[in-house]
Structure 1
Amino acid sequence: MRPGPRNLITDVPGLRVGNARDDALRSGATVLLCETPFACGFNVMGGAPGTRETELLAPDKLVGGVDALVLSGGSAFGLAACDGVSDGLRAMGRGFQIGPVRVPIVPGAIVFDLLNGGDKDWDANPYPALGRAALAAAGADFALGSEGAGTGALTHRWKGGLGSASAMLEDGITVGALVVVNALGSVTAGETRQFWAAPWELAGEFGGLGLSGPYPAGDEPNPAKRLGEATTIAIVATDAALDKAGLTRLATAAQDGMARAIVPSHTPFDGDLVFAVSTGAKPLPDPALTPFRLGHAAACTLARAIARGIHAASPRPGDLQPCWREG
């Protein structure tokens, strides 16, 4: 397993990502889309999720593909970013054809960033415009850290952010991850700057500090945020041809990566969620063995993406937490 050429989710051919941010608002939106609709599944393990159109992703539901996925700040207000993306896709001629009308399928998930010091006293919800701007910015290259939906993210100790990573497997399959880290838990061990995700780090991609330990096994952390103020939301992607059932299982396996990189994770106060998508470009090299390998790769890649999001966060005036780079 090695990183792809960009070490971004867009190393999965055909995928594009766009970011939009509002520095006064201290929030933003991130959009993932493909040249054609893609299959999608999801898994929720946090106790306080905020989502749109996720029920249709269940394996027994009719919709076979989605046009885009949206990750956004703004708590419940941020779900409106999906409206902006939907409007933009319809203007592009994208969407499910029903007679003369096209209906874009745009599931999304949000993080809570309403208490991060930004100006939230708006007259009109700003998130539809942020969603449409993120769609317009979509490309193969995009910035990490304090960008897009990670603009105003916070964690237990460090400023949060938007992370991404990729892995190329020996059988030619590519796996990528995209994540907004706004967790209740800590991404670093104890009082150190060492990332919990260090055992899965590739090529010193988030500082190369390792994980030396030992750390107290009986540590009982107290939450630094209140109920509903935290969430880590992610997308894992592959070019391997998986159906909705296979992607639901891939999303479930990828949640292990969140637990490897954030301690504690999947708490009652977080809305932790993972989408899993497939472009379907490559048949499974081994129908029995490949899904097993993909689950492990997705978990490792998501853990790396989480650390990379914190590693890339940049300081801005009014920050409530320090950036890892300045720690």
Structure 2
Amino acid sequence: MTNARNLITDVAGLRIGNADDATLGSGVTVALFDEPAVTSCFVMGGAPGTRETDLLEPDKLAPGINAVVLSGGSAFGLDAASGVQAALREKGIGFAVRDAVVPLVPQAVIFDLLNGGDKGWGRYPPYRELGYDAVQNAGLDFTLGTVGGGYGATTANLKGGLGSASAVTSSGHTVGALVIVNSIASAVIGNGPHFWAGGFEEDDEFGGLGLPARISPAERKLIWKGGPQPATTIALIATDAVLTKSLAKRLAIASHAGLARGLRFSHALFDGDTIFAAATSRKPLRDEAAEFTELTAIAADCLTRAIARGVYEATALPYPGTLPAWRDKFGRE
């Protein structure tokens, strides 16, 4: 069952902020938690760009973190977390160490340096300021597609973007996914219009096309961004369930199934595929093993749907020679 917004903000206890720059062709997305969230992550791509992910391992000290950043800019984009930190520090939010307050802000980035935007930013990249601005824009409702960290995202054959979806488990726990689809491969079957995620769609959220009657060998042929061009799909899974860091880690691991279903293909050598999993701890698990197992399955489904929504809602970048958006080729069904 899908929640009212069908966004990750259906999970109580978090807000999403976006900031982007049309000239730059890139941007930043931030998830802000009302209270420190129990968070872990799992990286399965061969070329990740991350910040403070070691902090999220179950054996590390930090009980919860304040925000997660998903941004463009490749390694340059890691400056975005500094801007988010600055905004949170101004609000007195962070991990207290006596009189010091340190906002804990893990991050992952996508490679969008070759998408046609102007990356001649001079000495310092603009991502710190974009991160700061994203915090100011945070709320419960936000746009999908060519926005925030998904502004400059692309797939092998179509414009990528920012996607999200949510669901409620049979035990009443809410789970949601937020993803930047910048895949090395494709979210659509063959040349489209059907999405690999078609069998998981809820309420015509990405066109209502479903799956074709048959997927031919030609449509299964691999297509990917050729040459040494890294690509990455990065995501945040959130739930209102009460989880330990160990269970959050397991949730992040299991959610990678959503990438494998929503894209053909993922987890490649040039990918930086990374998933964060966060618990806002509003609703305990009564039957931990059974309810958590369902939670992991539904989280992966949400991510599969969010991938398709990110591509479906995207608009083409405003530069010559860029990839078309799904709706440019197939219209809005």
TM bucket (normalised to shorter chain) is: over 0.9
Contact 1:189/1:215 (CA < 8 Å) preserved in 2?
A: no
Asked if 1:115 corresponds to 2:104, the answer is no
Q: After the TM superposition, which residues 16-55 of structure 1 pair with which residues of structure 2 at under 5 Å, given as runs?
A: 16-55=15-54
Corresponding position of 1:143: 143
Structure 1 residues 168 and 114: alpha-carbon distance in aligned structure 2, compared to 1, 3 A threshold: same
Aligned equivalents of 1:5 and 1:34: distance in 2?
Answer: 20
Corresponding position of 1:161: 161
Corresponding position of 1:271: 272
Corresponding position of 1:244: 245
Superposed displacement of residue 226, structure 1? 3.2
Asked if 1:305 corresponds to 2:306, the answer is yes
Q: For residue 78 of structure 1, what is the amino acid of its counterpart?
A: G
Corresponding position of 2:326: 324
Superposed displacement of residue 216, structure 1? 1.2
Corresponding position of 2:132: 132
Asked if 1:315 corresponds to 2:333, the answer is no
Q: For residue 175 of structure 1, what is the amino acid of its counterpart?
A: V
Corresponding position of 1:181: 181
Deviation digits for residues 64-94 of structure 1 (CA, Å, limit 9, x no counterpart): 1101000010000000000000011000000
Give me the TM-score of the superposition, normalised by structure 1: 0.97
Q: For residue 45 of structure 1, what is the amino acid of its counterpart?
A: M
Q: For residue 207 of structure 2, what is the amino acid of its counterpart?
A: G
Q: Secondary structure at the match of 2:288?
A: coil
Aligned equivalents of 1:154 and 1:325: distance in 2?
Answer: 14
RMSD value over aligned CA atoms? 1.2
Corresponding position of 1:231: 232
Q: For residue 132 of structure 1, what is the amino acid of its counterpart?
A: Y
Deviation digits for residues 11-67 of structure 1 (CA, Å, limit 9, x no counterpart): 001110000000000000000011111010111111110000000101011111101
Structure 1 residues 127 and 218: alpha-carbon distance in aligned structure 2, compared to 1, 3 A threshold: closer
Deviation digits for residues 167-193 of structure 1 (CA, Å, limit 9, x no counterpart): 012211000000000001110001221
Deviation digits for residues 211-258 of structure 1 (CA, Å, limit 9, x no counterpart): 112221895525324335200000001001011100110011100000
Q: For residue 145 of structure 2, what is the amino acid of its counterpart?
A: G
Deviation digits for residues 80-115 of structure 1 (CA, Å, limit 9, x no counterpart): 000000011000000111122100000000000000
Structure 1 residues 322 and 55: alpha-carbon distance in aligned structure 2, compared to 1, 3 A threshold: same
Q: For residue 102 of structure 2, what is the amino acid of its counterpart?
A: V
Percent of paired sites with the same residue: 52
Contact 2:185/2:266 (CA < 8 Å) preserved in 1?
A: yes
Asked if 1:295 corresponds to 2:315, the answer is no
Aligned equivalents of 1:13 and 1:285: distance in 2?
Answer: 19
Q: For residue 177 of structure 2, what is the amino acid of its counterpart?
A: A
Deviation digits for residues 136-183 of structure 1 (CA, Å, limit 9, x no counterpart): 100000110000000010101110000000001221100000000000
Flag structure 1 segments of 5+ consecutive residues without an equivalent.
Answer: none
Asked if 1:257 corresponds to 2:258, the answer is yes
Q: For residue 93 of structure 2, what is the amino acid of its counterpart?
A: R
Asked if 1:172 corresponds to 2:172, the answer is yes
Deviation digits for residues 257-282 of structure 1 (CA, Å, limit 9, x no counterpart): 00000001111111001000000110
Asked if 1:106 corresponds to 2:105, the answer is yes
Contact 1:228/1:270 (CA < 8 Å) preserved in 2?
A: no
Superposed displacement of residue 324, structure 1? 0.2
